[in-house]
Structure 1
Amino acid sequence: MQLADIVDTEAWPLGEADFARRCRALLNRDGTLVLPGFIQPVALETLRREARAAQEQAYFCTQTHSVYLTPPDPHHPPDHPVNRQVTSSKGCVCDDVVAADSPLRVLYDAPEFRAFVMAVTGEAGLYPYADPLSSINIHYAERGQELGWHFDNSSFAITLLIQKPDAGGRFEYVRDLRDADAGEMNFDGVQALLEGRMPVDILEMEPGTLVLFRGRNSAHRVTPNASDRTRMLAVLAYNAQPGVALSENARMTFYGRLG
């Protein structure tokens, strides 16, 4: 299988420098880059079949966490934004379950795709995780499952929607709600967000849409799935340095196993 069998390269010419520059400008301006219809219809149907077949192997868990994904801070009361808990619940299939000939694997490994992501994000290099679980994940949200408000630890995320629920499962975000590099956590703004006093943006996407999102300073969540149709989303994760593995504690938390 070739990259052109997976990606609509006529609509999204990954190898053209001018196209990559335009995409980088959009990502820098908006904090998001949305490429609808990125995946060819036949390849998308293959991904749906693979994701459905793998779902029985998914590790499902429910966790509580703060928006900042940090341990509790005893210097603040429990209802302070740094300590206030939200809920995230999902299933996850790990990299070692994704077949070598899966369109996801071909896309992830394709030099053209990796070069495009590097050009758009400004990263000098992109490398897979050193552990066997973390590079490609498929997330499942069944009825009632959600991702609570949070900031990412990484500078950007790449996602591909495989299947959309019939209701709910919306991606909501507030751009630049904090400045992590400057140490400005914006507790008042996060408090307003958690209390529903802040307007949010909704990122609309259909199956086959590729999204690059800068979530380090932009709070985001996925609302509860309000249907019996499972939300399925692939996450393609790279590192700026080779040899990086997700910690054993994180692997046990997110995947329920180390390898």
Structure 2
Amino acid sequence: MSSLKEIVNTKQYNLNENSFREYCKSTLDQQGVLVLDNFLNPSAIQQIIQEGEASQHLAYFCQQSHSAYLTPPDDSFPAQHPQNQQVISSKGCITDDQIGQNSPLRCVYDAEDFRQFLCYVLGEESLYEYADPLSSINLHYARANEELGWHFDNSSFAITLLVQKPEGGGAFEYVKDARNSSQGDMNYPLVKSILDAKTQGTTLTMEPGALVLFRGRDSLHRVTPVKGDTTRMLVVLAYNSQPGIALSKFAQETFYGRSAKPAELNH
């Protein structure tokens, strides 16, 4: 599969059509999330699943304890304050350099039509790949009982493709505008209520092949524990609004269990 038309359902989604772009942009601006079901063609989904299953033994699996704000512990707050209250995230991940050169994922990620569509919808002037060889395309695995705990994203947007659903669980839940980071309002009472399961999130319904754009910097979100023997597979397509950006060595080692060699960084 070497062309976008082979991989993406362009009959339903014309990425170059102005009215469609405007619909997507307004939906994301108003709701903080955009779901395009059946974005990938069935044959592309199957190829990605096969690639994912063949590469799963390469994945870095880890379990991490963290706060919803993804910040280090702050001794000026009590342990059970939402600034410090810990949740668990557990998953596996293969990195960009472990994605095949002929993978449909690489074709979609690199396609100029797709990137220009994203720029319009996200309100970005340009989008660039990461300057390290690990971070641009990541395939995430969640096996039985693995999950993502409640958290806010550090980035202003996330772009994902659901590849395979588990038999149960693995649901994406979110609470829109749970804080206002630009104003420094962490909204501790609401976050505490969510962490203590007194306030419920909205469940996002999606099927394999769905493209999801999500603004998670101020919307608290999680993925519930997976149930059953079928692994949840989700692809993260990561871009930057500036060229030459690489994840720090610490971030690479935290997320991927290794870091890129200096000679592998793009300058």
TM-score by length of 1: 0.99
What is residue 256 of structure 2 aligned with on the other side?
255
- Cα deviation 1:5-61 (Å, max 9, x = unaligned): 000011011011111111000000110000000001111110110011110100000
What is residue 216 of structure 1 aligned with on the other side?
217
Query: What residue identity is the alignment partner of 1:168?
Result: G
SS at match of 1:127: coil
What is residue 134 of structure 1 aligned with on the other side?
135
- Consecutive unaligned residues of structure 2, counting only runs of 5 or more, are 261-267
Distance 2:32 2:88 in 1: 24
Distance 2:51 2:99 in 1: 8
Query: What residue identity is the alignment partner of 1:193?
Result: I
SS at match of 1:185: coil
What is residue 192 of structure 1 aligned with on the other side?
193
- Cα deviation 1:187-241 (Å, max 9, x = unaligned): 0000000111112100011100010000000000000001111000000000010
Distance 2:9 2:117 in 1: 14
Distance 1:117 1:39 in 2: 16
Is 191-200 or 139-148 further displaced after alignment? 191-200
Query: What residue identity is the alignment partner of 1:239?
Result: N
- Consecutive unaligned residues of structure 1, counting only runs of 5 or more, are none
SS at match of 2:168: coil
Superposition RMSD in Å: 0.5
Query: What residue identity is the alignment partner of 1:250?
Result: A
TM-score by length of 2: 0.96
SS at match of 1:23: helix
What is residue 123 of structure 2 aligned with on the other side?
122
Give runs of aligned pairs for residues 1-259 of structure 1, distance below 5 A: 1-259=2-260
- Cα deviation 1:69-97 (Å, max 9, x = unaligned): 00111110101000000000000000001
Distance 2:235 2:200 in 1: 27
Distance 1:123 1:235 in 2: 18
Distance 2:199 2:145 in 1: 23
Distance 1:85 1:60 in 2: 19
Distance 1:17 1:100 in 2: 31
Distance 2:64 2:243 in 1: 30
Distance 1:153 1:182 in 2: 15
